[in-house]
């Protein structure tokens, strides 16, 4: 009986009430401190650094108390200057906290080099799509005396003879040396 008497006593009720008030007070103060400590209400707008060089983008972000991190160098995009920012994450205009990392994707300095495919002794109908699929542009057709008409005898770039497997900048213009069928 003493147990039930204690549970329904005034002293026990006050203790329970004080414990509940203490828990609510602890939670309230803890959340206020957490909001202050994490600077919950302070936000910085991310500037637009697209088309800027990495040095200028880094300086612009540092002025806003943000950190620039190079994420990747993507495929060359001729619409953007070489070695400039072509993409950023988070995007420009987003609100972030100070010291947030902004990941930047840079434009390489030029197209990558690709290997010349072996199209020697193939017809121009076979060679042209193969070269274009790799990323080359077809320039002049230079005809030389040969038994086979429109068969590729060689590939040239700016007057220099190229061999299959040589590396050349993507989007370069290659000239085809073809047989004229005169022999």
Condensed to tens digits (0 to 9), the pLDDT of residues 73-127 reads 767 888 888 888 999 999 999 998 888 999 999 988 777 888 999 999 999 999 9
Q: pLDDT tens digit string along 150-165?
A: 999 999 999 999 999 9
Predicted structure pTM score:
0.58
Residue 82: predicted pLDDT: 85
3-state SS record for the chain? CHHHHHHCCHHHHHHHHHHHHHHHHHHHHHHHHHHHHCCCCCCEECCCCCCCEHHHHHHHHHHCCCEEEEEEECCCCCCCCCCEEEEEECCCCCEECCCCEEEEEECCCCCCEEECCCCCCCEHHHHHHHHHHHCCEEEEEEEECCCCEEEEEEEEECCEEECCCCEEECCCEEEEEEEECCC
């Amino acid at each position: 009986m003493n147990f039930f008497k204690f549970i329904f006593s005034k002293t026990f009720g006050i203790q329970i009430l004080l414990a509940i008030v203490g828990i609510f007070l602890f939670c309230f103060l803890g959340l206020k401190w957490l909001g202050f400590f994490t600077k919950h209400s302070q936000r910085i707008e991310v500037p637009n650094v697209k088309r800027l060089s990495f040095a200028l983008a880094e300086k612009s972000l540092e002025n806003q108390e943000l950190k620039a991190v190079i994420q990747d160098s993507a495929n060359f995009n001729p619409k953007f200057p070489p070695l400039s920012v072509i993409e950023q994450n988070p995007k420009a205009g987003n609100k972030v906290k100070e010291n947030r990392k902004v990941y930047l994707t840079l434009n390489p300095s030029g197209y990558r080099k690709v290997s010349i495919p072996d199209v020697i002794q193939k017809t121009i109908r076979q060679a042209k799509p193969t070269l274009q699929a790799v990323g080359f542009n077809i320039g002049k057709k230079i005809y030389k005396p040969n038994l086979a008409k429109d068969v590729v005898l060689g590939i040239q770039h700016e007057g220099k003879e190229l061999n299959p497997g040589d590396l050349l900048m993507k989007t370069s213009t290659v000239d085809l040396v073809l047989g004229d069928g005169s022999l």
